[in-house]
Amino acid sequence: MSLSIGMVAVIVGSVYASSPNLTEFAERDQWVSAKINGIEGQQKSPYTTGPPFSFVYDGKPSADFLSSWKVERQSINIDNNREEHKIIYTDPDTGLEIRCVAIEYSDFPTVEWTIYFRNNGSKDTPIISDIQAIDTVLERDAQGEFVLNHHDGSPCLPYDYRPHKTELKAGAEKIIATSGGRSSNSDFPYFNVELPGEGYIIVVGWAGQWSAKFSRDSSNKLGVQAGQELTHFRLHPNEEIRTPLIVMQFWKGDRIDSQNTWRKWMIKHNLPNPPTHQLAACSSHQYAEMINANEDNQKMFVDRYLEEGVKLDYWWMDAGWYINETGWPNTGTWEIDTKRFPNGLKAITDHAHSKGVNIIVWFEPERVTSGTWLYENHPEWLLGMTLLDLGNPDARQWLTDHVDKLIKEQGIDLYRNDFNMDPLGFWRKNDAEDRQGITEIRYVEGFLEYWDELRRRNPGMLIDTCASGGRRNDLETLRRSVPLLRSDYIFEPVSQQCHTYGIAQWIPFYGTGVIRTDSYTFRSNMCPHTTACWDMRNKDIDYDSIRKLVNQWRQIGHYYIGDFYPLTPYSLENDVWMAWQFNRPDIGEGMIQAFRRADSFYES
């Protein structure tokens, strides 16, 4: 869904370096050395020394034969902070090539990798199945227990991003997967495996259907497997596919400190085009959709915010600006409705730009409804006559060219991409028995290529990932975009406190909406990106309070890029306090937010 009225505020401050424990780097280097170089015979290693992935080939597990394949290793420096390692396995009989491309970070105890399968043979490969992009074993000392820290995704509920702790005792098994094909639809693909005094952050970057399994044996070992949920296919000659991205970060000491090392790594190496100043924006004035928006009232809203002394950096035009007859969900004709916008969106963007305000425009290109241009003119591009197949090169090329043209001609500064459907059933119905998983792979590859090309053609342009409010927030997606609306469950203060408590541990940049003018509700909704949804046609709103609260939010905004510390337990109950701290050790400053819930007995 979309959030269609109000002010959007984005804050990203200066990036600063991390200084993790040196033992974390030693552990990372030992692991990389074991995996890439295949070091054997160590007296004691907390890792298996084989490849960090696995698969089944022609009915046989890769552990049984991969060591007999031809192996080639390469390493190059990408920059001062990153070294790329490649390990390439080739089957001499069928020509199947497995390429593991790993990146080792010198400034963080972090390594990431992606696996590529390529058929260099002259005929189809045997069946490749059960690909695990990570398949490794973690070992602990006899004392203590494995604890899996994991979170809910964002299914539009009060408990979106809720944290969980699962103790993995001997014989325990925990399987976690997203649902419906959107990467954070039900569960979050970010995990922290905690041991006494140390642990491992493990993250799956896949804008599709992933699954992870944590299996504890009867001794002191924990098996970790994760990847695309279903893979069972042949590769045609010269065909290549990729797996999900996997990231591992090693830590010693305190788990919350490890989450802050992760936040710093996210800011420094992943956040796309971070602005160096605070940004604010406001959206269309229609509470449900933009179907009644037009050139005059869009200009009026920009002017009204500025008239009330609320500085805007962006004006947000949400769903419904395109030609449609039944409302904003009728998507698939990506042309401006000239009945309401006779001069296009350009008249509004020019007006906004003249006042120092940029423009956000909402798109939902992947979902197609009957009667629209795509539905009528290119049914061959649609899966189930509903999902635009981004794995189809012709469909992707048309979409890229068409959206890029709109961005340039209409003066759009930020591209907002929503996605209000589950694609998994459409992907799987399109697969033959011996090609299961291929449609999903091609779609995910195409989705990432689409965004990469938009960014290449529009340098510096931010992309907002929405997907019904936070349901596609995997790492690959967040390397290209920012979630301006972390959940479609908005406004209510207790849930918003809990959303911040959960998401801030993993994602340093996110947004939500505000619609009230009281300080408790406003501050419960404050986060790095704040969308204020006031109807500016109403001149009786308490604008003094709005100006005061927005100015306070701007004053503390730069703390959001600091370290995040939960100060109370997580709770949705209404009789407790909830508190956290954002800390900037680089400048010796920070802030605490503490909320006394309505039924709390304690006043201080």
* Rounded Cα distance, 258 and 75, in Å: 28
């209000």: which residue's tokens?
Answer: 420
- Predicted confidence (pLDDT) at residue 335 exceeds the cutoff of 50: yes
Phi-psi region of 588 (alpha: psi -120 to 50; beta: other; left: phi over 0): left
β-sheet bridge partners, residue 83: 77, 104
Exposure string of 431-464, with b = 16+ CB inside 10 Å and e = fewer, is beeebbbbbbbbbbbbbbebbebbbeebeebbbb
β-sheet bridge partners, residue 281: 8, 314
> What's the burial of 287, exposed, middle or buried (CB within 10 Å: 0-12/13-18/19+)?
exposed
pLDDT digits 0-9 by tens, 435-447 = 999 999 999 999 9
At 37, the pLDDT band (50, 70, 90 cuts) reads: confident
pLDDT digits 0-9 by tens, 236-271 = 999 999 999 999 999 999 999 999 999 999 999 999
Q: What is the pLDDT of residue 114?
A: 98
Two structure tokens written together for 220: 């002191």
Q: What is the pLDDT of residue 27?
A: 83
Question: Can you tell me the mean pLDDT for 404-431?
Answer: 98
- Predicted confidence (pLDDT) at residue 50 exceeds the cutoff of 50: yes
Q: What is the pLDDT of residue 490?
A: 94
Task: Check if the beta carbon of residue 326 is closer than 8 Å to that of residue 273.
Answer: no
- Predicted confidence (pLDDT) at residue 6 exceeds the cutoff of 70: no
Cα–Cα separations (whole angstroms), residue 496 to 92, 199, 299, 355, 499: 56, 29, 31, 32, 5
Q: Say how many residues make up the chain.
A: 604
* Rounded Cα distance, 601 and 559, in Å: 30
* Rounded Cα distance, 21 and 295, in Å: 56
pLDDT digits 0-9 by tens, 516-533 = 999 999 999 999 888 878
pLDDT > 90 fraction of the chain, expressed in percent and rounded:
80
pLDDT digits 0-9 by tens, 113-133 = 999 999 999 999 999 999 999
Exposure string of 163-202, with b = 16+ CB inside 10 Å and e = fewer, is beeeebeeebebebbbeebbbbbbbbbbbbbbbeebbbbb
- Predicted confidence (pLDDT) at residue 315 exceeds the cutoff of 90: no
Q: What is the pLDDT of residue 377?
A: 98
Please report the sign of the dihedral spanned by the C-alpha atoms of residue 166, residue 474, residue 224, residue 506: negative
Longest dimension (CA), the chain: 77
- Predicted confidence (pLDDT) at residue 407 exceeds the cutoff of 80: yes
């956290």: which residue's tokens?
Answer: 580
- Predicted confidence (pLDDT) at residue 289 exceeds the cutoff of 70: no
Q: What is the pLDDT of residue 311?
A: 85
Instruction: Kindly calculate the radius of gyration of the chain based on its CA atoms and give it in whole angstroms.
Output: 25
Question: Can you tell me the mean pLDDT for 299-309?
Answer: 92
Across the chain, what does the average pLDDT equal? 91
* Rounded Cα distance, 242 and 590, in Å: 42
Question: Can you tell me the mean pLDDT for 564-582?
Answer: 98
Question: Can you tell me the mean pLDDT for 496-500?
Answer: 98
pLDDT digits 0-9 by tens, 129-169 = 999 999 999 998 868 899 999 999 999 999 999 999 999 99
